[in-house]
Structure 1
Amino acid sequence: MKYIKRGLIIIILLVVIVAVGGYIYLNQSNKYQVDGTITLDGISKDVTVYRDEKGMPYIYANNYLDLIKAQGFITAQDRLFQMQLTRMFAEGRLTELAGEVAKPLDVRARTMGYARNARKHAKILNKESREVAQAYIDGINAFIKRGKNIPLEFKLAGLKPDLWSIEHSLAIMYYMGWGTGSNLKTEVIAQLLIEKFGLERFKTLYPINTNLDSPNRLPDSLAFRPETKDSTQKDSSKIALKTTHGQQLMAFAGDDLYRMTWGSNNWTVSSELSASGKPIMASDPHLDARTLPGVMHAVGLFAGDIRAVGVTVPGVPGLLIGRSKYLSNGLTNGYLDVKDLYIETVDPANSKNYLEGEKSIPFEVITETLKIKDKEAENGFKEEKLTLRKTKRGIVISDHLPEMKTKEVMTLRWAAYENMGENLGIDFLLKAKSVKEAKEYIKETSIINNNFTLADVDGNIGWYTTGRVPKRKPGVGRIPWKVTSSEDTWLGIIPFDSLPHKDSQTTGWIGNANHNTVKADYPYYISNYYSPYYRYARLKQLMKSKPKFTVDDHWQYQRDDYNVLAEKITPTLVKALKKNQETQAMATILEKWDFHQKIESVGATIFQNVYRILPQKIYKDEMGEELMMFMLDSWYFWQERVEKMLLEDKASWIDNVLTKDKKETIEDLIIQAGLQAQKELTQKYGADLNNWTWGKDHQIAYINPIRRNGIGKEWLGVVPRPMAGSGETLYRSLYTYDKPQEISFSACLRMVADMADNDKVLAVINGGTTARTFHPHQKDQIEAYATGKKLYWWFSDQKIKENAKSTLVLKK
């Protein structure tokens, strides 16, 4: 027996030794040089890189181009594998990594043409933009060519890092910029609803977009297009798709590739509202940021008069959000409508042509080559040609989407592809010295459509909307447009100074939460897709709560979990739920709820579940399951409309047409939603309502790109953890409608910059500095992100050196 015990002890010791040794090996296997010296050819003088306790780099260079080149090198050190994956996604090259299974994604990316148009754009950049972009690319390539400390993920994935060129950075910008343009899915939803219900009834479904600062503006649905004699008659010049193609349209518009939506909160207060006497900037951009180490890369950049800290998307030089010696900025998605769908007609006499009225025009033909990983192929890859067609409006998207088995030819037009500029406009934070100067830089931005909020050290604040938005003929842009002539439906581009903005001011505050910012007298149609007003309404409440605000106040407001929508409609829910014995207990909890969506709140759980189920009770009987769920998946499309129904109880949609012997009221539907919510929550958490806490029902999980599923997923990623807030709160934590327990949309950064504080900026990202698996700085900021613990970007030389944990010199 004692020998058995000894054997067991020895086995246990061996397992422990192997485990400890394995952990030590893995922990060391993906590190990289952060001390000592590395040669970087092409710089004019040595560059010094300090890294702080988070691993965040602070780069000191002799001049601007040296600085950007070093940024490219250091970003590659931290994020090269992430950059490679993003680039391959944008280029449509994932089949090289994953084989045939990734083909649909590559076909879509090639069809959209991010890389194809990036190559075109790269050729027209002016000398200055090209020099900056090339310096960044040279830094990336220097790291790759050095061949040392290449991320372990490349070996695990069987990849070798590709060398970069300017077009690859531009491809990433177009790929990310796609998500800042709105309305594509809304067009499809609108088309299908009009086909099913007619124009007049559709107007009772069309999104309501409240602008709290201009309440007299009419909803766009009232000016949707000129009326016809018979308002229910389908106008073939504007409605061409058949309902039999609804599934194909939904497959296209609902594909994950086209859901790279950016959200965000952003605000700045002027000196008069700041406890420090200088403007304070707060920014927290929202997107699907669950993949480690997070979307943004934080860095400090210092050269001559340049002193800045902030974040950018790896693969893009400079800083998109941050603060400099003179300026701070934040951004939100402007949700501008910069894309339109068109229905083309193939010439029945010549299938190689399309018609514009009687005129027959040849399709432009584009050939792309897919390289697909294949073990059976001679060199491990097979090639496949992809033939694309294009009209004067844009690429044909219906040819290569397998779901779209239709004879209709649908094209997509994106303003960014037609309005390329020689200057990218993304270096404003490093060069501008005032809000006024920054405006001149960002007005050149043509790829992304954002609200840029700015504050400078002299006390000025301002806000500008970027992008190229087409002037359209009446009725164009809301639904797919049937092409019947050669007439262009775009009449030009709306001038930059005519887009929503606030010029430099020294008083008050400016904020944006993706809401409608269009004034009542605004002459152009620019979008019918905005976030509901709820987050902005809460921001307005908070901005009235004190005479002056501190950095700590803004940090707290970014995690504010008060739900303005809940405050408005919960009394209606309570009134109805009290009338049914089975839902009275739920009503009692809701009645006592303070509308804060904290993780320990039971009221938050009941509210969100009843609220989520209610629109199904309203719409399913007439829309059917598929169309209803497609519409409900686009939250912004229906939220304010359902709120109006709840408060007015007048909508024609409330009565269930399938119950011929009864006319339902909104209270009947609320009770039905309450009973279903009760059943679902009881199945998950038991009959005791005290167990129905929001933190159990509302969680976020972070994943490692090398192990998205299966054994090891949670070890390499982060186990699901409770998160407060919701889609309606400033503390954003939105779930996909059909997956209510999985948070998919949240802040990828929280930053508060006080222009009076020259030592530091309060900031945290939801991941870490490096994308290297097993590295201690891959996900070490998540705990601070979740708890609200304060982390800093150091700004003064003194603080950077005091907090430096390593020093690397890049030798010329």
Structure 2
Amino acid sequence: HAPDFNVVGASFAGVPGVIIGHNDRIAWGVTNVGPDVQDLYIERVNPANPHQVEFQGRWEDVEVVREEIRVKGREAPEVLEVRITRHGPIINDVVEGLEQPLAFRWTATAEPSRLFRSVLALNRARNWEEFRDALRDWAVPSQNFVYADVEGNIGYQMPGLIPIRAKGQGLVPVPGWTGEYEWTGYIPFEELPSVYNPPTHFIVTANNKVVPDDYPYFISYEWAAPYRAQRIVDLLTAKERLSVEDFEAIQADVYDIPSELLSRYLQQLEPQGWLQERAMEPLWAWDFRTTADSPAAAIYQVTYLKLVENTFQDELGAELFEEYLGAATFHHMALARIIEEADNPWFDDVTTPERETRDDILQRSFAQALDVLGNQFGDEPPKWVWGRLHTATFDHPLGSVKPLDRIFNRGPIPVNGYGFTVNNTGFDYKEPFAVETVVSYRQIVDLGDLANSVSMHTTGQSGQPFHRHYGDMIPRWQAVEYHPMLWDRGAVAASKEGLLVLTPG
């Protein structure tokens, strides 16, 4: 509450205004778009002058910035000379293994930022038009903004600087000296994806693809898989009317669409031995909900990891497969496409003289998964619950050094879901199964009664590790519970724990 401001929600330390929240007229939320806004340019450096690079047949001077990095235990700083071309800084001094000079171009450094102006205008916006006008200054990072107001209107707007390339789509490093691959501008704001009061009467974004194939501009090739968005649509359309409690259930949902598809083939396997028979029992009874107390979820997830290895590693080779394994969306969608074809050539292990089928590879993967789980937890499948593998640790930068981790870090704690459930707790398949991505903030706004709105973030309101509010929200976040978004001044005063007075001076 302040002159011209009446807003509540979530923000970042040091940032003026509220990033996600509501005022007395409108509410908004965001998910990441993930556009391709970074390019690498191969530069030709003048052999006679390392401070010049070639562009269209002429040598251009680069900007040189001297960076001094203070290092503990040293008197003299580490000095880094940064060479900045028309495409951005040359990154070879800080990225190992590069054979050619590479300049890094990124929208976050290519243009002056007006982000704070956008945030403050967003907080003051009273309607759809003012909301969109505020987002014209939102350059980086591009977000899927969803909107609703007290008049019953809803909308979606994607803002951000998305480059238009003269040639190519920035997928691989390109020659920087020819001028063929320059950015010619940015997608005009009026042509960025947007919708207002769609006939569906709802809008869903979950990092998924937001444009049709015939959209005239390139945004990205790497969208999130559509499973989370599809599940939200299924839940939104399951009832005629939805309450705050219904939205709480949606945000907590851990139904796993990919497992429903793949498990039907896994469940058809004939168990070989008593351990496989005991391990198959929870899979036969599974409701495809990836809860922390589910043995079926753990068995499925380890089997899936082995299935990816046994299907693709022999063709891709170890080095390329290692990169592919980290691209969870790609191998989930690839397996979804081929799983119905029992004789698809990808299932054949090219390192053996036999021709393997889907069921051969599934059987091998299932047996390997039981070996992994049995070695880790003993030969008792009911105890192989997902939460023993899938845990979240809230790491602090200072907690990377022992024994400071015991002071600054919180966890590990078992959590529901994974990267393809609405309650997103993703992990890196190259280092399974510890959580790497979480829902950092949840919010449900009741625009018919703003005092009925709720939210929750991950850890606590204090950044001081010995403060009682440093990590007190973790159990409620873990359980997908909420606290009220206190709105009117009377409710805030009645619930206050203390009063901090900041006096200019």
1:519 to 185, 207, 212: 212
Residues 51 and 61 in structure 2, CA contact (< 8 A), matched pair in contact too: yes
The one-character-per-residue Cα deviations of 1:574-613 (angstroms, maximum 9, x if unpaired) are 23x3265564443443222100011221111111111122
1:508 positional shift: 0.6
For residue 675 of structure 1, give the secondary structure of its aligned residue in structure 2. Answer: helix
1:770 to 451, 462, 467: 462
1:360 to 47, 59, 74: 59
- The CA distance in 2 between the partners of 1:336 and 1:405, in whole Å, is 25
- The CA distance in 2 between the partners of 1:415 and 1:805, in whole Å, is 42
- The CA distance in 2 between the partners of 1:710 and 1:584, in whole Å, is 43
> For residue 420 of structure 1, what is the aligned residue in structure 2?
112
1:715 positional shift: 5.8
- The CA distance in 1 between the partners of 2:50 and 2:66, in whole Å, is 18
1:327 aligns with 2:26: yes
1:340 aligns with 2:39: yes
Residues 451 and 464 in structure 1, CA contact (< 8 A), matched pair in contact too: yes
Residues 114 and 138 in structure 2, CA contact (< 8 A), matched pair in contact too: no
Cα distance 1:692–1:421, how it changes in 2: closer, same or farther (>3 A)?
closer
Residues 371 and 382 in structure 1, CA contact (< 8 A), matched pair in contact too: yes
1:512 positional shift: 0.3
> For residue 5 of structure 1, what is the aligned residue in structure 2?
none
1:680 aligns with 2:379: no
1:617 aligns with 2:310: yes
1:708 positional shift: 3.6
- Structure in which a larger fraction of residues adopt helix: 1
For residue 222 of structure 2, give the secondary structure of its aligned residue in structure 1. Answer: coil
The aligned runs of 1:381-420 (5 Å cut-off) are: 381-401=75-95, 403-404=96-97, 406=99, 408-420=100-112
> For residue 333 of structure 2, what is the aligned residue in structure 1?
640
The one-character-per-residue Cα deviations of 1:471-525 (angstroms, maximum 9, x if unpaired) are 1235332222234512343222111121222135586111100001111321111
1:349 positional shift: 5.9
1:308 aligns with 2:7: yes
1:571 positional shift: 0.7
1:686 positional shift: 0.8
1:712 positional shift: 6.3
1:680 positional shift: 0.6
The one-character-per-residue Cα deviations of 1:643-694 (angstroms, maximum 9, x if unpaired) are 21223356543322222x1122222222222121111100111111111111
- The CA distance in 2 between the partners of 1:601 and 1:341, in whole Å, is 44
1:454 aligns with 2:153: no
The aligned runs of 1:130-141 (5 Å cut-off) are: none
> For residue 551 of structure 1, what is the aligned residue in structure 2?
244
Residues 321 and 331 in structure 1, CA contact (< 8 A), matched pair in contact too: yes
1:608 aligns with 2:307: no
1:468 aligns with 2:161: yes
Residues 347 and 354 in structure 1, CA contact (< 8 A), matched pair in contact too: yes
> For residue 801 of structure 1, what is the aligned residue in structure 2?
493
Cα distance 1:776–1:553, how it changes in 2: closer, same or farther (>3 A)?
same
- The CA distance in 1 between the partners of 2:108 and 2:90, in whole Å, is 17
Cα distance 1:354–1:657, how it changes in 2: closer, same or farther (>3 A)?
farther
Greater relative contact order: 1 or 2 (C-alpha under 8 angstroms, separation 6 or more)? 1
1:632 positional shift: 1.3
Residues 308 and 429 in structure 1, CA contact (< 8 A), matched pair in contact too: no
- The CA distance in 1 between the partners of 2:319 and 2:438, in whole Å, is 27
Residues 166 and 180 in structure 2, CA contact (< 8 A), matched pair in contact too: no
Residues 310 and 321 in structure 1, CA contact (< 8 A), matched pair in contact too: yes
Gapped regions of structure 2 (runs ≥ 5): none
The one-character-per-residue Cα deviations of 1:340-387 (angstroms, maximum 9, x if unpaired) are 11222334565543334543333332221122221xx5xxx4223211
- The CA distance in 1 between the partners of 2:199 and 2:493, in whole Å, is 34
- The CA distance in 2 between the partners of 1:808 and 1:484, in whole Å, is 57
1:699 positional shift: 1.3
The one-character-per-residue Cα deviations of 1:197-254 (angstroms, maximum 9, x if unpaired) are xxxxxxxxxxxxxxxxxxxxxxxxxxxxxxxxxxxxxxxxxxxxxxxxxxxxxxxxxx
- The CA distance in 2 between the partners of 1:488 and 1:434, in whole Å, is 40
The one-character-per-residue Cα deviations of 1:611-635 (angstroms, maximum 9, x if unpaired) are 1222111222233323211221132
Letter of the structure 2 residue corresponding to residue 434 of structure 1: N
For residue 314 of structure 1, give the secondary structure of its aligned residue in structure 2. Answer: coil
- The CA distance in 2 between the partners of 1:532 and 1:520, in whole Å, is 15
Cα distance 1:591–1:413, how it changes in 2: closer, same or farther (>3 A)?
same
Cα distance 1:705–1:565, how it changes in 2: closer, same or farther (>3 A)?
same
1:532 positional shift: 0.4
The aligned runs of 1:483-632 (5 Å cut-off) are: 483=176, 485-504=178-197, 508-575=201-268, 577-578=269-270, 580-581=272-273, 583-632=276-325
Letter of the structure 1 residue corresponding to residue 209 of structure 2: N
The aligned runs of 1:160-171 (5 Å cut-off) are: none
Cα distance 1:710–1:368, how it changes in 2: closer, same or farther (>3 A)?
closer
1:328 positional shift: 0.7
> For residue 433 of structure 2, what is the aligned residue in structure 1?
741
Give the alignment's TM-score, normalised by structure 1. Answer: 0.59
> For residue 373 of structure 1, what is the aligned residue in structure 2?
72
- The CA distance in 1 between the partners of 2:48 and 2:346, in whole Å, is 46
Letter of the structure 1 residue corresponding to residue 290 of structure 2: Q
1:717 positional shift: 3.5
Letter of the structure 2 residue corresponding to residue 397 of structure 1: I
Residues 460 and 506 in structure 1, CA contact (< 8 A), matched pair in contact too: no
User: If you compute each CA radius of gyration, which structure gives the higher value, 1 or 2?
Assistant: 1
Residues 702 and 718 in structure 1, CA contact (< 8 A), matched pair in contact too: yes
Letter of the structure 1 residue corresponding to residue 265 of structure 2: T
- The CA distance in 1 between the partners of 2:500 and 2:142, in whole Å, is 37
- The CA distance in 2 between the partners of 1:665 and 1:483, in whole Å, is 47
> For residue 442 of structure 2, what is the aligned residue in structure 1?
750
Cα distance 1:756–1:405, how it changes in 2: closer, same or farther (>3 A)?
closer
1:716 positional shift: 5.0
Residues 169 and 218 in structure 2, CA contact (< 8 A), matched pair in contact too: no
Q: How many residues align?
A: 502
For residue 372 of structure 1, give the secondary structure of its aligned residue in structure 2. Answer: coil
- The CA distance in 2 between the partners of 1:360 and 1:650, in whole Å, is 57
- The CA distance in 2 between the partners of 1:333 and 1:347, in whole Å, is 40
- The CA distance in 1 between the partners of 2:146 and 2:228, in whole Å, is 17
- The CA distance in 2 between the partners of 1:667 and 1:600, in whole Å, is 28
Cα distance 1:502–1:648, how it changes in 2: closer, same or farther (>3 A)?
farther
Cα distance 1:723–1:400, how it changes in 2: closer, same or farther (>3 A)?
closer
Residues 136 and 189 in structure 2, CA contact (< 8 A), matched pair in contact too: yes
The one-character-per-residue Cα deviations of 1:443-483 (angstroms, maximum 9, x if unpaired) are 21112211111111111111111110111235332222234
- The CA distance in 2 between the partners of 1:316 and 1:565, in whole Å, is 39
For residue 670 of structure 1, give the secondary structure of its aligned residue in structure 2. Answer: helix
For residue 631 of structure 1, give the secondary structure of its aligned residue in structure 2. Answer: helix
1:405 positional shift: 5.3
1:430 to 109, 116, 123: 123
Residues 561 and 731 in structure 1, CA contact (< 8 A), matched pair in contact too: yes
- The CA distance in 2 between the partners of 1:365 and 1:504, in whole Å, is 50
> For residue 241 of structure 1, what is the aligned residue in structure 2?
none
Letter of the structure 2 residue corresponding to residue 436 of structure 1: E
1:725 aligns with 2:417: yes
- The CA distance in 2 between the partners of 1:621 and 1:713, in whole Å, is 39
Letter of the structure 2 residue corresponding to residue 322 of structure 1: G
- The CA distance in 2 between the partners of 1:636 and 1:472, in whole Å, is 26
Give the alignment's TM-score, normalised by structure 2. Answer: 0.93
Residues 654 and 664 in structure 1, CA contact (< 8 A), matched pair in contact too: yes
Letter of the structure 2 residue corresponding to residue 386 of structure 1: L
Letter of the structure 1 residue corresponding to residue 252 of structure 2: R
Cα distance 1:361–1:712, how it changes in 2: closer, same or farther (>3 A)?
closer
> For residue 263 of structure 1, what is the aligned residue in structure 2?
none
